[in-house]
Each structure stands twice: as structure tokens, then as C-alpha cells.
Structure 1
Amino acid sequence: MNASHDRQIDTTDIAAQLNRERSANARLRKLIDAHSRIAAAKLDLDRFLSVVTDALLELVPAAHASVVEWVDDDEMVYRACSGTIAHHVGLRLKRDGSLSGLCSLEKHLLYSSDTSNDPRVDAQACKRVGATSMVVAPLLYQAEVAGVVKLMSDRTQAFSSEDIETLERITSLVASGMAHQRVFVENRALIEQNAMTIARLRTEISLREAADSKLEASLRRRRLVLDTTHDAFVCTDAEGIIIDWNDAATRTFGYARNAVMGRPILEALFPARRRARYGELDVFGIAPSQAVEAGKDPHAQNSTHGTSGSSGKNRSRTELVARRIDGTEFPVELSVCPVQYDGNTELAYFMRDVTERFNARELDKRFRVLVDAIKDYAITMLDASGHITTWSAGSTQVMGYEPHEMLGEPAALFYTPEDIAAGRPQRDLELAAREGRVETEEWRVRKNGTIFWANIITTALRDSNGALQGFAKITRDMSRRRRLEELEASSQRMSQFLALLGHELRNPLAPLRNAVSMLQLKSDGHRALVPEHELIDRQLSHLTRLVDDLLDAGRVTLGRVQIAPKPVSLQAIAQLSIEGSAPLLSSRGQTLDVSMPDTPLYIAGDLTRMVQVVQNLLNNASKFSLDGASIGLRIFRSGRLLAIRITDSGRGIDPDAIDAVFNLFVQETPTEEQADKSGLGIGLTLARAIVDLHGGHIEAHSEGRGKGSVFTVWLPESDHAIADAGARDEAPAPPRLADLKVMVVDDNVDSADSMATLVQALGHEAHTVYDGAAAIELAQTLQPDLVLLDLSMPKMTGFDALPHIRHALVSPGAVIAAMTGLGTSEDRARTEAAGFDLHLTKPVGLPELESVLRIAVARVRD
């Protein structure tokens, strides 16, 4: 029984032993097989590590996952994973606070049989990968830990000593493989690096060869550029000695290249009197250290004689006075650039003749002075958008703004609010840009808010390509001119009124004059009535003269007074003037002291108008002098000027009123103080206007009230003397009157009837009509010898009726005389051009009428 029991035990032990051996042999075969697979793995590190983790799962069935973690600074990275965590490749854990990190630091195998109560592990990471127990072994390479190999199980105390031994063996195998892998990687990297180095060397050689070729071409181009540029290029060493020189420098300074090489630049190219001061300038005093720093500029490129090199901050530019080979001086713009070439400092100078710029700048300065001197015009410059860029002193004067207030502001600021709301500022600029130049007159607003009438000229400014650069705007305050124009218009209306008034006054004067002439004819046998007739005639003549003055005043203000200059002597003018003023002088018992040279003194003048001037002055002297006073008239020469001087000892003129006496309607002496209380204050105005038309002038002088007056008419002497125009032939004896058929045409019934009565009194047949149509009808039946035709008639004027009357008359010898209140030379020329034979100015005096009748009789007889 016992023996059997012992044999049974032995058999069991043997069987167990055999099982252990078979298990060990199987494990060994698996280990060998794993070793073979690992060894056979390619030297790709990630694939190698994946084979390791797969083999560990086969060798250690207790593990549900295996991983190789790589050390990356303070983190552990899942480099290869197998089993249930295969998808966690790339997972990162903090090195501090994990079992893997501790293993990498302590460099030996660590085992955690239960991670739930092991403080060495990262509990959160363990839960994430399902690691209840785990064993970690370091991967050592040259005494440094590259990573760890870890086995994990979801059971506590899952790993036996055999499992740990297997892990250690695999770990040593992995470390050996890693060594081979690193050697392989290093060798492959070295080979790749060598290949890259060789490729770079080849590229570098090719680039250097290309660079050498480009440099050679660049040097050729540089020389070509330097020799063809318009700027003078001069290169010096650090001491200022010239070492290079281009063709433009020869053209600029006149020196050949060989003549300046080796000479100091200051001595060769600049005036002696300026060298000392120029030598202290930065452009000639750049220190070598500055040039060295310029050469270190990372953007600089060395080139022969340093045509490039320094950055902009090392450049220096200025304007100096240079000297040519012939000694002439001229302004140059000089730019210097310090560079390094072959370890030496060089200075590259570029010089440009800026004579034109200098002249333009001086011209601009003078123009600016001129512009600022113009105070009556606001001259401004605008940019293309209408903002002010320049502001003149005149702009301040006109607009009221200072320059600092307006620069950069829109020019629309000067427009009225209404114009701004209507978009006028922008439209004006667009019109100027389109038309080139625009001139307008409109309202503008000053700084203080006042509005003024302005003339504005806007000119578009364009460059050589036609691109719009801006605008020039000139504004002038025209408020005064506008007021003067309004006054002138008012004055013109007044003059027209005076002319109309004078013309209308002549109409009632005409029948009065005719009636007086009738009285004179009827009183030939009744001398007792002569004084009354003379009184009426005298007052009527005076009234006619006042009307004539009114008409002349209108002509003067309208600029219609004209003269017909002919050579005439001052003696003739004086003689006729004295004859005209004799009745006035005689009536007041005044004497005239006349002083004239025997030799005639000639002017180019209008005899009638000049007699009007002198007679007016004589009449004034008589009017403002006492009865029985003496008045002087003197004619003399002063250089090339001739003078007529009239002196009186009468009322005199206040010195402050000397100039005013020549103004229209001004009488310096109050009417109540005048001996002759007639006159309108027109005579002196007419006299001055007539003398001005003759190229002369009239002066007035008086020592004051009660000390008399002196009026002097100065006239230019004429070079052409003729017989005395004042010498008049005796009038021929009037021919014997013959009966004439006379037709009087006038819309003024009194004037027409009185003229017809006067014609009948002179022995002729007279017929009257009162409009143009009736005159044409009567002319056909009457066939008159003389027609006295009024010009200003309603419906049909005398000008309109004239051609019809001419057509109705059978006899070509009939005389047609115009009757009008207008008697200027222009009026006479107009009637003559229309076809009238004679011109009669209303009121027609008896002598004038008798003269017309004599002419008609002579025409009939012929």
C-alpha cells in the first residue's frame, strides 16, 4: 500500500517535471522565434519597435497590452503599441509622476503588481489604458535611457518571474537593435548629408561661375552706365584723391580723365575761396569708420569704385558752387556715398549741374515776392481735389484769412451757402479742368462773413503728360468797380435824360425864336419897340445857350464830344472869343487887356470848340468881376506848349475848391453872390473836356476869396502853320430873293406855323404839314423848292420820309433841310449821310433862315 502510494507520487512528480520542461521548451522556442523575428526586422525604427511589442504579447500571455515609450524631454510618448492599446500610438504622459518616467530616471526594471494603490504610477493614465498591473524595463543606449518597454495586464499580480525574465531578455535585444538602428540612421544621415553637401558644392560652383559672369557683365554695364549718364561721377579714396571719373564729368567740368586722376577733388573742382569752408562739410569729411559701417550694411553690394554700397542713412546730399576748367562757376547738386572695396574706403560722388533749377528757384522767389506784393488779388494754388496748397499775402488782404488757417482747407469755404448747396464749387473745378481756363464774376464770402462781388479766374494746371496737377485761382474784389459801374450807369441815364431834356426844350424855343424874328421884321419901321424886341431876343438867346450847355453836358458824360482838328492860330481863337464876349463886357462897363505876340502861334484844333472854351472863360471872368473891372487875356509860349491865360480881380476861389470847379453842375460861388445869377455849372466842365480832347489841360489858380482868379489853357504847338483861320472873307452880297415854294414839316404845330409865317414875311410862299405821310402827299402836288423837315416826328421820322419826298419831287434842284434839336458834328454827319442838303439846329435864328433861303434861291436859278 505504501509502496504503491510512493510510486504514484513519483509518477506525478515526473509528469509535472515533464510538463515544466515542455513548457520551458515551448517558452524557449517562442523566445527564439521572437528573437529571430526581431533580428530579421528591417532597420526602420517604428517597424522594428512594432515587432518587439507584438513579440512580447506572444511571449507573455498574462499581458493584454505592450508598449514602447520614448523619452521626449519631460514627457513619455507611446512610440509603438500592441494589444488592446494599439490605437494609443502617440499618446503623451508626463515623465514626472509615472512608473515609466521613474524607470527612465532610475534605469532599472520596475514592477507594480497593483496600480490601484501604487503611488509611483499615473493612476489616471492606468485607468485610461486598463493597466491593473504592469512591468517596465529601460531601453539603455550608451548609458542613456532612450525609452522603456512596458507590459500591462488587467489583473493584479499578473506577471511571474519568468515573465519578468522574458521582458529583460527582450529589452536587451531591443537595446542592441536600437544600437544598430542608430548606427544605420547615423550612417544614412551622413551619406545623405554628404550627398547634399556635394550637391550644394556643385550648385555653389555653378552659382559662383554664374556670379563671376554676371559680375563681369555688371562691371561692363556699370562702366557703360557711368560713361553715358548725364550726372558727373567722381570717385575718391578716403583722402579725397580722385581715382575714377566718367565721361559726364568731362562734359560738366571740361577736364579730361587723365588731367584730374590723382588730384584732390576740392582743389580740382571747386573755387579756391570756398575750399576751406567746403572742407568742413560732411560730404567731404566722412570718416573711414562711417565708410566701414556702410560696407557692413547687409543690403550693400561691393562693386568697382563703390557705385553701390551704403544704405540711404549714410548718403549725404547738398548744393555747392563748382568751377569748370575755364574758371566759370556754376551750382551743382552733390551726392556722396561712402563704400568699402577690397578693404579700402572709397567715396562715390555724383554731381549734377543745377543751373536751370537754381534759376527757376530764383525766378520762383522773385515770383513769390511779386505775388506777395500784389495786395488787390487773392492768388492761391489748389490741388486736384480743390484744397488750398499756397496762400498769398493778397489772399489775406482780400479774404481775411491767415495762411495757417487756410492751407489744406477746401476752396469751397469762400462760396455762399446757396452756391455750396447747389454744388457750385465742384462744378467750377470740373469746368476749369475741362475747358482749361474759366473766368466768372459772382459773390464770395470773407472770413468776417461779409459778401463781396468778385472776379475769379480758375486755370487748370497739368504736367507734361496732361495729367491734372491742380488749379491756380485768382480772385479780385470787384465791389468798387461794381459800384462805379452802377454810378456810371446812373450817370449815363442822367446824361441821356439831360440830352432828352435839352432836345425837348428846343421844341418850344423854336416857335419863340420864330415869333421874335417876326417882331424884328415888323419893327423895322417902329424903332420904339426895338428895346423890347432886343430884351426878348437876348433872354431867348440866353435860354438857348443854357439848353446848348445841357446838351453838351450830356455829350461830355457820354463821351460823345468830338473835335475836327485843323491848324488854327491862337490869335484867331482869341479874336473870335473876344467878339462873342464883347456884348457882355460892354454891358458891364468892363475892359479887356489883351496881350498877344505878332507871330501867329498854331495848334491842331477845332476852331469852334476852342472859341467855346475861351469865350466861356471870358464870360466867367466877367460874371464874377465887378462892373468896370479889368480882365486880362494873354497868349504866350512856354517850351513846346502854348498858353491862353485869362486873369480877373473878382470873386476868387477857395484853394480847397480849385479842383471842384471843373465838376459838372458845381458852382463854387453861391448864386446869391453872383452878379449874373445865370448858369448851371456846366461851362468849366465842358472847357476841360474840350481842352483834354486837344491833348492839353486847363489850370485854375486863386489866392483865395476876393483875390481874383487865373485860368490857363495849355495846348501842344502844331508843326504845320497855315494862313490865319480867323481871317474871314467878307460875305458876298446876298442875291436878290425870288419867290420860293417852301414846305414846313413839323409835328409841333406852333413851331411849324410860326416858321411858315416867318417864311411868308420874308416874301415866300409857305405851306405847313404836321407828319411825314402828309409831307409826302403834299410834295407830290406842291413840288416845293425848299423843304424844312423836322427829324423827330411820331410814326414816320424825317429820316423815313426823306427818300419818299425826294422821289416825289420832279425838280432835282429842290433843297431839303433837316430841322432838329441835335447839332453836334456827329448829328450833322448823320443827316448829310442820309441825303439832307442842310442841317438846321432848333431854334433856327433869322440869319440862319435867311441863309437857307438864299441857298434855295441860288439853287432854283441854277
Structure 2
Amino acid sequence: MSPVSPELDERILLRMATSRDAAMASAVLERAHFIPHVCDNVGALVQALLRGAGAIMLAEEVLVGPALVELTGALAAQPPWSDVPVLVLARQGADSRAVANAMDEFANVTVIERPMRVAALVSAVRTALRARRRQYELRNLLEGLRDADQRKTEFLATLAHELRNPLAPLGTALSLLQRKRPVPEEAAKYYELMTRQVEHMVRLVNDLMEVSRITRGKIELHLGPVLLDAVIDDAVELSRPLFDRAGHSLTVEVAGDPLVVRGDAVRLTQVFSNLMNNAAKYTPAGGRVTVTARQEGRQAVVSVSDTGTGLEPDMLKAIFEMFVQVSGTARDAQGGLGIGLTLVKSLVELQGGSVEAASEGLGRGATFTVRLPLMKNSTLSVRQTPMSQDGWGPSIEGTILVVDDNRDAADSLAELLGSMGATALVAYGGEEALELAREHDIDIAVLDIGMPGMDGCELARQLRAQPRGKELKLIALTGWGQQGYRERIAAAGFDHHLLKPLSLDEFMAAL
């Protein structure tokens, strides 16, 4: 019973006893700005009902024999959300067998005695349509939930697939290292392989966390004057490997005058890098990608165009929604969760801009256009660099306590810290950690928060209470980055809060 148009949803289907009655009722409804639809018989009314109706108005005289059975069957076959209001115009007294049958058979029926006042009829129809519109709201909600559930199911299947992909080479490399026991020179290629796959998994998880933070309004932007050509250069460098592997030609055309916007340079680099990555992934080998930046009025306009798989018209807006994937193109993209465009839209809108997609159809490429408000009378004398390329120091001095109930995580981190020159101590629980802290002079403690029994926050408070507790540097290590966790961690006395998996850049910066 999907509507063809809003007019069909609002129609009042009429089946009167005579054509004269039908004409009179239709005229009354038209004067009240309703949409009457006269049916010559109940069979025609049932067919009209299948196309859409706001309410049904019937004369008592037509509710007899096969007509009543046919209409009862049609009303019983409505979808779960639908309960079409039926108005029965009855002879005075309203106690005939036809009216009694109608009240027994129809779930949503109102009986109006004739003769009736026009105002009473109009009021009854208006009430019926108001109830019908609430049903349409329920229909739209159910359809939205069904679509969202389908998208989530597809998304989770994609997520499982994308997470399995790096696990396969990781498992194979580990098996080879265990079986072959290669010398360090030969083992280096396996370590490089494992590093690449771990980095890929980290990117997937980071994307998920990023979407979660943005949709809940928990992301922080560092706004300031940003030179767009510098941001585009950085985004090109990040996406360059994808273009090189696919043999794409990349053309960048930036306006001669500087385009300065107020934004977050790191996040804008992420926006344009995501758009370029999408263009590279969904364009067949040897394709063309063009990036242009220009000024239109008081806006900076950046477009990323490709010669790839393109988009159908109904996907041009839906493509930015969470969990939406373009049908038939999953095999064209080389991995990823399909949430990059959701990130793009959210980040652009947070910085006062907009993004839209355009395409002439499947197989004819696509263009994504970002519009950002230009700053007035702003200049930049120094090129901004969103991504730091600095490396981390090769050595650490001092005694570091690593506490994590995940033994593999604790042991591997301690071994890494030991390889960098630190004296690393390991504990797998709070009590064991407190005992080690009493026996050794600890300089730094890296604590997992989500431990059973004594969690990391309680352990931090007890470590602070020890004689040298105030001098101790406490680093929280957790998979949770929400604001509530950050506030709880700060209240426990931690100096730094780092997210798993540990980034050595961030860790060395904290030290």
C-alpha cells in the first residue's frame, strides 16, 4: 500500500447509494478542501484503496451481500501500520443490520446519521484524516527502521569482512615466524607485513570511533585561519599511494589567489584525503581524478571529480548517511567500511560548510563538492602543516610499570619499552602492581583502565597515596575515548590518557 503521491494518501473514497448523493457529498468535501474520489461500486473502491486513501465514506445501503464481504477482505489485508478510517452514512436510527455488520467487521468505523449537518460531516472527516496522518508517520518510522536495520546488517557484514582481511596475513606471518625461525634479515619482511596489517586495522577502528564521536557531538575542533592549497597538498600526499598503485592520473588546479578559511587544518586534510581516497578506490585502473579549488562569492569551493563507477540519482544524498553502501560497487573499492563520506559531511558541516555529490549515472564518474566560507581580510604567512612527520626518540630512561590484565598486551609493551632502554616491570592486576610499586622506585606507570577487581582509576588513586606517589607520572591506556571516561580518568589523577592501540608518537610526547 505504498503511496504513489501525497494526493492519493489524502483521498476520501466515496461510495454512495445514488450518483446524486455522490455528487452532493463530493461537492461538500471539495468546498472543505478535501480530495473526494467517487467510486461507482465497491469493487472500484477496493482497487482505489490499494493505490492509497485517507478515509472511506460509504452509504449504509451499499453494505450488503458480496460488497460487504469484498470490502471486509480488503480492509483485513492492510499492512500492520494501516487502519483506514471508515465513515458510514446511516439512515436515522442507526440500528439496521447493515450498520451492525459494519461495526462488527470494520476495526475503525464511525457511524453518522442522516440527515447530518455539514459542519458535523466536515469535522468527522477532518478527525479521520488526522488519525490517518499519524498512521503515515508510523509507516515512515517503520520503513526507516527497516532500512536502517538492513544497512546496519550490511555494514556489520562489511566490518567483519574488513577485519578478517588483515587477520589472515597476520596469522600466516606468525605461523611462518614460528615454523621457520628466520634470521633477523629474513624476518624483517614478515614484520613489515604485520605492521602494515595492524595499521590497517587501527585505521578501521579509528574511523568507527571518529564517526561515533562526531555523531554524539564529542569532537573538538581547533579552529583558525587555514590556507586551503596547503591542506590540499597534504591531502594529496596522504592519498598518493592509492593513485600510484592504480595508475591514475591526478590533476590539481588551485586558484591563483590564496583561499583562506576558518577551520581545523587537520580535519580539513582528513576531509579532502577521504574524498580523494574514494575517487581512487571507485575509479578503474588508469582513470583520471581532478581536484579543483576556486572562489565563488564569499565561499571557497573544492571539487574532487573522477571517471569511476558513478552514482544513481537516488544515491546522491543517501551516500552521506551512516551505514549506506552503494550497491554493486563494493567489489570495486579496495577495502574500507564505507563510512568515509559520513565523516566528510559531519566534519564539513561542523566547520560551517556543506558538501554535495553529483553524477551523470552509473559508469560516468562522480564529483564531490565542498563549500566553505572564506575568511575576511585574512592572510597566512606560514604554511600550516596538519600532520607532524617528526619521529619518536630511540631511548627511554627510568623504571616503568606496565599494568594490564591482558597478559599479551602487558608483556609486549614491557618488552618494547625494555628494547628502548627502560627498566620495565609488569603486573596483571591492581594488588600485584601496588606490591611492585612498594618494592621499586617507579618513575612512570602505564595503567589499563578496564581491569576486573581493582580497575585502573582506583589503582591510580592508591599509587598517588604512596610516599612517592606525587612524583609518579601516570598514563591511562584504554580503548574508550568518550568524554565521561576522560573526566573520570582525569579525576583519578592521571597525567595523560592514551587510546589503544598505543601510538609511540603520542607515548613519547607524553613522556
TM range, smaller chain: 0.5 to 0.7
The 5-angstrom pairing of residues 24-103 of structure 1 reads: none
Equivalent in 537, 543, 547 of residue 195 of structure 2: 537
Structure 2 residue 369 is matched with structure 1 residue 707:
no
Equivalent in 321, 324, 332 of residue 663 of structure 1: 321
Change (3 A) 1:627 1:401: closer
Structure 2 residue 442 is matched with structure 1 residue 784:
yes
User: 1:559-590 deviations in whole A, cap 9, x for unaligned?
Assistant: 55554433323233323322222232233333
Equivalent in 406, 413, 418 of residue 755 of structure 1: 413
Contact 2:458 2:492 in 1 (8 A): no
Q: Distance in 2 between matches of 1:826 and 1:715?
A: 32
Aligned to 2:223: 565
Aligned to 1:552: 210
Aligned to 1:818: 476
The 5-angstrom pairing of residues 687-726 of structure 1 reads: 687-719=344-376, 726=384
Aligned to 1:597: 255
Q: Distance in 2 between matches of 1:690 and 1:652?
A: 23
User: 1:821-862 deviations in whole A, cap 9, x for unaligned?
Assistant: 23467765664465432232211234444x24xx53xxxxxx
Structure 2 residue 339 is matched with structure 1 residue 682:
yes
Contact 1:618 1:646 in 2 (8 A): yes
Contact 1:783 1:809 in 2 (8 A): no
Change (3 A) 1:848 1:681: same
Aligned to 2:268: 610
Amino acid at match of 2:360: E
Q: Distance in 2 between matches of 1:792 and 1:484?
A: 41
How far does residue 794 in structure 1 lie from its aligned partner after superposition?
Answer: 2.3
Q: Distance in 2 between matches of 1:769 and 1:400?
A: 70
- Determine what percentage of the aligned residue pairs are the same residue: 34
Change (3 A) 1:727 1:829: farther
The 5-angstrom pairing of residues 304-453 of structure 1 reads: 400=85, 446-447=108-109
Give the CA RMSD over aligned residues. 4.7
How far does residue 685 in structure 1 lie from its aligned partner after superposition?
Answer: 2.0
Change (3 A) 1:543 1:732: closer
Q: Distance in 2 between matches of 1:740 and 1:728?
A: 32
Aligned to 2:296: 638
Aligned to 1:585: 243
Secondary structure of the equivalent of 2:372?
Answer: strand
Amino acid at match of 2:109: K
Q: Distance in 1 between matches of 2:484 and 2:252?
A: 35
Equivalent in 471, 474, 498 of residue 840 of structure 1: 498
User: 1:51-74 deviations in whole A, cap 9, x for unaligned?
Assistant: xxxxxxxxxxxxxxxxxxxxxxxx
Structure richer in strand, relative to its length: 1
Q: Distance in 2 between matches of 1:780 and 1:841?
A: 27
The 5-angstrom pairing of residues 126-205 of structure 1 reads: none
Secondary structure of the equivalent of 1:812?
Answer: helix
User: 1:587-610 deviations in whole A, cap 9, x for unaligned?
Assistant: 333343222235432333233332
Change (3 A) 1:401 1:626: closer
Contact 1:665 1:682 in 2 (8 A): yes
Change (3 A) 1:835 1:583: farther
Change (3 A) 1:729 1:552: closer
**CA radius of gyration, larger in:** 1
Contact 2:87 2:109 in 1 (8 A): no
Q: Distance in 2 between matches of 1:607 and 1:600?
A: 15
Contact 1:569 1:724 in 2 (8 A): no
Structure 2 residue 425 is matched with structure 1 residue 767:
yes
Contact 1:742 1:784 in 2 (8 A): yes
Amino acid at match of 1:712: T
User: 1:240-283 deviations in whole A, cap 9, x for unaligned?
Assistant: xxxxxxxxxxxxxxxxxxxxxxxxxxxxxxxxxxxxxxxxxxxx
Secondary structure of the equivalent of 1:774?
Answer: helix
Amino acid at match of 2:370: V
Query: Any gaps of 5 or more consecutive residues in structure 1?
Result: 1-371, 376-393, 410-444, 450-471, 520-524, 857-862
Structure 2 residue 402 is matched with structure 1 residue 740:
no
Query: Any gaps of 5 or more consecutive residues in structure 2?
Result: 1-31, 36-53, 58-82, 95-106, 112-126, 178-182
Q: Distance in 2 between matches of 1:699 and 1:613?
A: 13
Instruction: Give the number of equivalent residue pairs.
Output: 393
How far does residue 479 in structure 1 lie from its aligned partner after superposition?
Answer: 4.7
Q: Distance in 1 between matches of 2:457 and 2:85?
A: 59
Secondary structure of the equivalent of 2:355?
Answer: strand
User: 1:1-40 deviations in whole A, cap 9, x for unaligned?
Assistant: xxxxxxxxxxxxxxxxxxxxxxxxxxxxxxxxxxxxxxxx
Q: Distance in 2 between matches of 1:660 and 1:562?
A: 26
Q: Distance in 1 between matches of 2:424 and 2:235?
A: 37
Contact 2:392 2:504 in 1 (8 A): no
Secondary structure of the equivalent of 1:537?
Answer: helix
Higher RCO (Cα < 8 Å, 6 or more apart): 2
Q: Distance in 2 between matches of 1:815 and 1:840?
A: 13
Contact 2:309 2:329 in 1 (8 A): no
Q: Distance in 2 between matches of 1:555 and 1:596?
A: 32
Q: TM-score, normalised by structure 2?
A: 0.63
Equivalent in 453, 457, 463 of residue 805 of structure 1: 463
Q: Distance in 2 between matches of 1:728 and 1:652?
A: 31
Contact 2:398 2:443 in 1 (8 A): yes
Change (3 A) 1:763 1:590: farther
Contact 2:448 2:456 in 1 (8 A): yes
Q: Distance in 2 between matches of 1:609 and 1:833?
A: 29
How far does residue 751 in structure 1 lie from its aligned partner after superposition?
Answer: 1.0
Amino acid at match of 1:574: I
Amino acid at match of 1:778: L
Q: Distance in 2 between matches of 1:571 and 1:773?
A: 55
Change (3 A) 1:586 1:847: farther
Q: TM-score, normalised by structure 1?
A: 0.39
Q: Distance in 2 between matches of 1:679 and 1:626?
A: 17
Aligned to 2:234: 576
How far does residue 537 in structure 1 lie from its aligned partner after superposition?
Answer: 1.7
Change (3 A) 1:819 1:596: same
Aligned to 1:201: none
Q: Distance in 1 between matches of 2:266 and 2:491?
A: 22
User: 1:669-722 deviations in whole A, cap 9, x for unaligned?
Assistant: 53564162x122211122222222223221111222332221111122234655
Amino acid at match of 1:842: K
Amino acid at match of 1:592: L
Q: Distance in 1 between matches of 2:258 and 2:467?
A: 49
Change (3 A) 1:671 1:395: closer
Amino acid at match of 2:262: A
